Chains A and B, each alone.
Chain A
């Protein structure tokens, strides 16, 4: 698969409360040549993974609603570190906080192509590091 190049060893965080979806995303990312830095089902787990990864994260897929808990603190932590991320949500776009209007959002269920686009975005951002 030529998609293998797209990932190019990017280190990705996957946040979703649904194990099956995490497994799906992980498999897709692995197929795209990424490595999964970690997966998390809650804000606390996510922040722990971010801390542990020490600036090596290249991108993240964030499910918005984690069993009633909203993922925005994770988004803020990633933003502060200049790590690009996309939302993955079952909700329609209006379910996203307007404060994060510029962030790309993937709708569940998602095709591998959508994931590949997101990964390409992450790869570009790595080549041109965002100002801290």
Chain B
């Protein structure tokens, strides 16, 4: 290599040096000739042939010709000097001179040509050597790829830096080892290493993405390419393998798939309807909640126009709004600020929805996602609540009017000293009636409970209960329950003041029966007192009897009858059955 470089160097030397070299060489030759005068007798050019050849070889054509001419001139110098002109002494001298000059010229040219050819060959060889080395360095230096050779039997024959980095073994550790070493045990057991080499040999190349193991036993995902190497005769010489560690890519792909399936499950299990449409309003996503909401299977909805989920009269407005939203470039906003939004079920039923819309551009495709909630139930609840509030306001005011009336009636009938007690007793009866109704959410109350409430203040007055309450189950609407509560409060209060509950042994029997029993159109209620003090009919009606009479005839559409028999008060009244007073099943 070094010699080649020097040769090339001399060839390219400055012309002056090359001609100088020619001159010196000729001078040396001349000196040699001079010294060996005797031996060269008759051969005047003998010493110059090698000199010309040397110059031709070492310095090129020009210097070689120069050397030839110089040598010729030197040899004939004495002649020229003597004759003052170039005149040959004899023909043989001229022949010898011409012979030397032509021979020198030809040999100079020949040597030069030879030299040039050799030089060129040396240069090519050098370039080849350079590029091979670079190539090896390249392969050695590659760190991202394991690049190595196998011999025909699958033994590792070379090992680059990438292979060491990826696989962990150093070059000295692995050269000569079987390729099986980098396979996971299960792949080894299945004979994968040899199978792959056979496939590569058969088809030229083999590729796979599979697991490989490192020196430390850990595994990684590898992208493997095996190429069979054959010589000019097609004989298999070995294999080249390129392995890339794609664990990261695999992990990213797995993460992506995982996050995609997670997203999909979120979308599918969402309580809200999620619908995605493309720029042409075609549905591209329709989740389970949307299926339930609109009553359309996903397969039917996909590809459908969003318009078909909107009642006719809203379609043009909706299209305008979506176009407007797209123009804003805002990523999301609630819908329906302009008013109530409506969806259209496949059955043709409309329903109120609450919705928000978002937009995103994915791979140059604009997608709109609408998230919507069926608020039918909420609207209904809101309406129900509003109704309850109105009801409550009505009931409160009505109750205040009832209290007002109780106070007025109490003032009218009660003796002044008893006014306060009587009034509070009646208000308490009104209060417990409301409690009873609250327990049933103001649906109503059972007649037996209403009667029992009238006796509640006298519970525990004597060791044994002195009243009986009996009758089939009757359900009373709220107003009827309140009115009858007041009636039974008055009857019990009167009994406690003047009747069966005013001594220690009187009894009261309250019972009711369907009337007529087989095909009842009403109920007969009887209040019978016995064992009390002797009864004297009241002078002028009291509030109790007035209320009973008015309530039963006016409000309940029935008849009433008070009998102030001496043995005990007996009160009978009949209420017609209706939706407000009905037999409980």
Q: Give the distance in Å from the alpha carbon of A109 to the alpha carbon of B400 in the complex.
A: 6
Cβ-defined contact, A109 with B404, below 8 A: yes
Indicate with 1 or 0, residue by residue over B284-309, a CB within 8 angstroms of chain A CB atoms.
00000000000000000000000000
Residues from 45 to 85 in A contacting B, C-beta threshold 8 Å: 45, 65, 67
Q: Which interface residue of A17, A23, A89, A91 has the most chain B CB atoms within 10 A?
A: A23
* Residues of the B chain whose Cβ atoms lie less than 8 Å from the Cβ of A20: 401-402, 405-406, 409, 483, 486, 547
A90 and B396 within 8 A (CB): yes
- Which segment, of B260-268, B451-459, B549-557, faces chain A? B549-557
Q: Are B409 and A90 in contact (CB under 8 A)?
A: no
Complex: A95 Cα to B389 Cα, angstroms? 12
Contact A110 B401 (CB under 8 A): yes
With CB as the reference atom, state the residue of chain B lying closest to A63. Answer: B398
Given the known A-B contacts A41-B555, A95-B390, are A21 and B580 also in contact in the complex, defined by CB atoms under 8 Å?
no
Across the interface, do B393 and A90 meet the contact criterion of CB distance under 8 Å? yes
Distance in angstroms from B531 CB to nearest chain A CB is 31
A27 at the interface (CB under 8 A from B): yes
Distance from B458 Cβ to chain A, minimum over Cβ atoms (Å): 23
Q: Once the chains bind, are B555 and A18 in contact (CB under 8 Å)?
A: yes
- Asked whether A18 lies within 8 Å of B408 as measured between CB atoms, the reply is no
What CA separation (Å) do A27 and B406 show in the bound complex? Answer: 12
- Contact B395–A90 (Cβ < 8 Å): yes
- Cβ contacts under 8 Å, A22 to chain B: 550, 554-555
Max chain A Cβ within 10 angstroms of own Cβ: one of B477, B479, B555 = B555
Count of chain B residues near A, Cβ 8 A: 29
B237 within 8 A of A: no
A39 at the interface (CB under 8 A from B): yes
Contacts of B393 in A (CB 8 A): 90-92
Residues of chain A with a CB closer than 8 A to B409's CB: 20, 23-24, 27
Partner pick for A21 among B401, B412, B546, B557, CB 8 A cutoff = B401
Q: Is A107's CB within 8 Å of the partner chain B?
A: yes
Please give, as numbers and ranges, the residues of chain B lying within 8 Å of A95 by CB-CB distance.
390, 394
Q: CB within 8 A of B408: which of A17, A24, A45, A89?
A: A24
A117 at the interface (CB under 8 A from B): no
From B396, B412, B554, B557, contact of A27 by CB (8 A): B412
Q: Which residue of B lies closest to A110 (CB)?
A: B401
CA distance A24 to B398 in the complex (A): 12
Interface centre among B396, B404, B486 (most CB of A within 10 A): B404
B548 → chain A, closest Cβ, in Å? 10
Provided the pairs A17-B479, A20-B406, A95-B390 are in contact, do residues A90 and B398 lie with their beta carbons within 8 angstroms? yes
A92 to B396 Cα, complex, angstroms: 12
Q: Which residues of B contact A19 (CB under 8 A)?
A: 483, 547, 550-551, 554-555
From B395, which residue of chain A is reached at the shortest CB distance?
Answer: A90
Q: Kindly provide the distance from the CB of B201 to the nearest chain A CB, expressed in whole angstroms.
A: 95
**CA gap between A100 and B557 in the complex, in Å:** 29
CA distance A90 to B397 in the complex (A): 5
Chain A residues with CB below 8 A from B546, complex form: 23
> Looking across the interface, which residue of chain A has its beta carbon closest to that of B400?
A109
**From A20, A28, A41, A65, residue with most partner B Cβ within 10 Å:** A20
Q: Which of A21, A65, A91 contacts B405 (CB 8 A)?
A: A21
Known contacts: A27-B412, A108-B401. The answer to whether A90 contacts B554 by CB under 8 A is no
Contact with B along A95-115 (1 / 0, CB 8 A): 100000000000111100000
A36 vs B373: C-alpha distance when bound (angstroms): 57
When distances are taken between beta carbons in the complex, the residues of chain B under 8 Å from A39 are 554
A23 to B393, CA, bound (A): 22
Contact (Cβ within 8 A) A90 B408? no
- CB of A107 within 8 A of CB of B551, answer no
- B479 touching A21, Cβ below 8 Å: no
Nearest CB in chain B to that of A22: its residue: B554
**Chain B residues closer than 8 Å to A65, beta-carbon distance:** 394
Interface string of B481-495 (1 = CB under 8 A from A): 001001000000000
Shortest Cβ gap from A16 to chain B (Å): 9
Please provide the chain B residues from 131 to 158 with a CB less than 8 Å away from any CB of chain A in the complex.
none
Quick check: A108 and B550 within 8 Å, CB to CB? no
Q: Is the CB of B580 within 8 A of A67?
A: yes
Cα distance A89–B396 in the bound complex, in angstroms: 11
A106 to chain B, nearest CB (A): 10
Structural contact, A109 and B486, CB atoms closer than 8 A = no
B428 to chain A, nearest CB (A): 15
Q: Is the CB of A23 within 8 A of B550?
A: yes
B398, B400, B404, B412: residue with the most chain A Cβ atoms closer than 10 Å: B398
B402: contacting residue among A18, A40, A67, CB under 8 A: A18
Interface residues of chain A, those whose CB is within 8 Å of chain B, are 17-24, 27-28, 39-41, 45, 65, 67, 89-92, 95, 107-110
Known: A18-B479, A90-B395, A108-B400. 17 other contacts (CB 8 A): A17-B479, A18-B398, A18-B401, A18-B402, A20-B402, A20-B405, A20-B483, A21-B401, A23-B547, A23-B550, A24-B404, A24-B408, A28-B408, A67-B580, A90-B394, A95-B394, A109-B397
Top 7 A-B residue pairs of the complex, sorted by shortest distance between their CB atoms: A24-B405, A90-B397, A108-B401, A20-B405, A90-B394, A109-B401, A19-B551
Task: Mark B residues whose CB is within 8 Å of A.
Answer: 390, 393-398, 400-406, 408-409, 412, 477, 479, 483, 486, 546-547, 550-551, 554-555, 557, 580
Q: 16 A-B Cβ contacts within 8 A?
A: A17-B555, A19-B551, A21-B405, A23-B405, A24-B401, A24-B404, A24-B405, A24-B409, A27-B408, A40-B554, A90-B395, A107-B397, A108-B398, A109-B397, A109-B400, A109-B403
